[in-house]
Amino acid sequence: MLRHAATDVRATTRVMANGLRASLLWNGTWKHVVVYPDNRAIHSAPLLLTQAELPGAVAATVNEADASPRDNANGTRFLPPMKKYPIPREEALSILEFIARALAHGEGPSGHSVDSFRVCSKQCEMDVLGILERGNVPVSALRKLASAVLQMNYEPQRLAIVGVMYGIASRRGDEDARYSWATMVMEGLLSTHSKQLDVLQAEAATAAYSQLARKGHARAQFGMGRLVLAKVLSKTGADAADKQVQMAVDLWQRAGRNGYAEAWYELGQLYHGGQFVPQDKLRALTCFEHGARGGSAQASHALGTIYLTRARTQADRAEMANAANSSALAARYFLQAAQKGHAASAYNMGLLYMRTSMSEKEHKARQGVLPDNRSAREWFAAAASRLFLPAMMNYGAILMEGRGRDDTDTPASDLEEARLVYTRAVKLCQKIEQQQQERSSSATLRGVSAAVKPDHDTSATARHMMETARAALKILDKQLLSSPTGTPSSSSAAASSLEASPQRGGSSHWLSSNCTIM
């Protein structure tokens, strides 16, 4: 059977970041909404730069005790495991050490104006550049190392170090590094612990976006569009708001034409929702198609959602030929996104393949594929390996019921795998609740308005999933203890009852048979 790789808290953190950003506009950044199968909204905030950061994380300086003289311990702490580093490993360790030591001694951001703003002391910058020069390493490699540390290391202190690396590369002319640094600032990931410096840093980041956008930098154009939209809610006059929205639309169109496919996805969301522009679903469809052709997994997922909804409406009207065409397109787009690693699309592929009480002909017309529990099992496993909670719940259920089993699988191995999946689901739900409580406490202390308070639907969804997973674990423990060896045999009555289960997505351990929407 298809097994998913072991995951740890680092991967959990990434999923948290993908699914727990509450509020529509936060830190000047436009947020999106993903709806889980029970239609409870869970906010998500795909970053321009990465999705691997902690939600609302604040960059912290490295404690002086952590900056040991020259034993590589500090550098090793932040250096991610890689087969090939953009900078030779020893040089990379030295760079991380120099920056960590400088931050520990208060040599972080400084300046009195946008032009004089620096991300670190001049000495720190010269030390880092000296290492690059001695190794004949281009500045672009420093930016690549920063991205690797940001995405593959999960120490909160890494954020300040990454910001310095991006800043140094930016000062040496690397436009992508400048964009990445500005994005971290706009996402609230680089706090200076000084209100005055925070304001100055934000102004410098805005200036960076503006200058890069004028040069045709696609992601900067997209970022500027988000900043412009963030200002719309602060405008009282309708004319002013209309001009700001049109400016954002123009910027996103330029970003899309310059090769940033996610800009087309955002435009599609704008027109599909109709909040700031007149709703135009045909134009939204066109934008999503542009995005999908450009490689946006989110745009492909959106198209899959649109066509699947259309297929089911047509099938309900007995327009089976049209429904078959629409559902085939839906399956194609979900597959396209799933192959790019889009967890919700992989989950949807599992739902499309899962055998139900429908005839094969009706199933193909409504779902776009022939029923195949083995394929459903593998797609649920793929999405579960990315810690997508709905998929984890359904993967656990399909294992408990023994569906889609092949010659290499046994009832015992399925139940062991199910226990592992549900255990991870419980831990993930606990992490969600913990982060929601921390956000609630933080919001209360700061007197934050209701607009940015924690999403209670998120907590309720996580709590429901946790209760379901715990109930499944109790059953699994009994199943696994039912044989003298501690694992059920193929003749075990308990295991057989799972195999013979007539449920088609209606078991108490199944989360939902509904696909996720945009």
DSSP for 1-24? ---PPP--HHHHHHHHHHH---SS
Beta-sheet pairing, 29-30 with 41-44: unpaired
The whole-angstrom distance between residue 436's C-alpha and the CA centroid of its chain comes to 17
Beta-sheet pairing, 25-26 with 41-44: unpaired
Q: Which of 374, 370, 343, 345 is nearest to 358 (CA)?
A: 370
- Where on the phi/psi map is residue 231: left (φ > 0), alpha (ψ -120 to 50), or beta? alpha
Q: What is the rounded CA–CA span in Å between residue 320 and residue 361?
A: 10
Backbone angles phi, psi at 409, to 5 degrees: -100, 155
Helix extents (H) in 135-260: 139-152, 158-171, 175-186, 195-214, 218-232, 238-257
Could you tell me which residues come within 8 angstroms of residue 484 by beta carbon, excluding any fewer than 6 positions away?
A: none
Q: What is the mean pLDDT of each run of 10 residues along the chain (518 residues)?
A: 32 28 28 30 29 28 34 71 93 94 92 91 95 95 96 90 97 96 94 92 95 96 92 67 90 97 97 93 98 98 97 94 97 98 97 95 95 97 95 95 90 94 94 80 49 61 91 92 52 32 41 58
| Exposure on the CB side of residue 82, measured as CA atoms within 13 A | 20
One-letter amino acid at 266 equals E
The single-letter DSSP state of residue 504 is S
The pLDDT value given to residue 117 = 92
Q: What does each C-alpha distance from 453 to 21, 458, 498 come to in angstroms?
A: 10, 12, 42
Q: What is the rounded CA–CA span in Å between residue 270 and residue 289?
A: 14
The pLDDT value given to residue 452 = 40
Q: What is the rounded CA–CA span in Å between residue 327 and residue 182?
A: 41
Q: What is the rounded CA–CA span in Å between residue 141 and residue 504?
A: 52
Could you tell me which residues come within 8 angstroms of residue 274 by beta carbon, excluding any fewer than 6 positions away?
A: 280
The pLDDT value given to residue 428 = 92
Q: What is the rounded CA–CA span in Å between residue 287 and residue 265?
A: 6
**DSSP H or E segment with residue 378:** helix 373-384
Helix extents (H) in 36-157: 73-78, 89-104, 122-134, 139-152
The pLDDT value given to residue 369 = 97
Could you tell me which residues come within 8 angstroms of residue 446 by beta carbon, excluding any fewer than 6 positions away?
A: none
Two tokens, residue 134: 């001695």
Q: What is the rounded CA–CA span in Å between residue 84 and residue 76?
A: 15
Quick check: 326 and 314 in contact, CB under 8 A? yes
Quick check: 255 and 221 in contact, CB under 8 A? yes
pTM above 0.75, yes or no: no
Q: What is the rounded CA–CA span in Å between residue 208 and residue 231?
A: 18
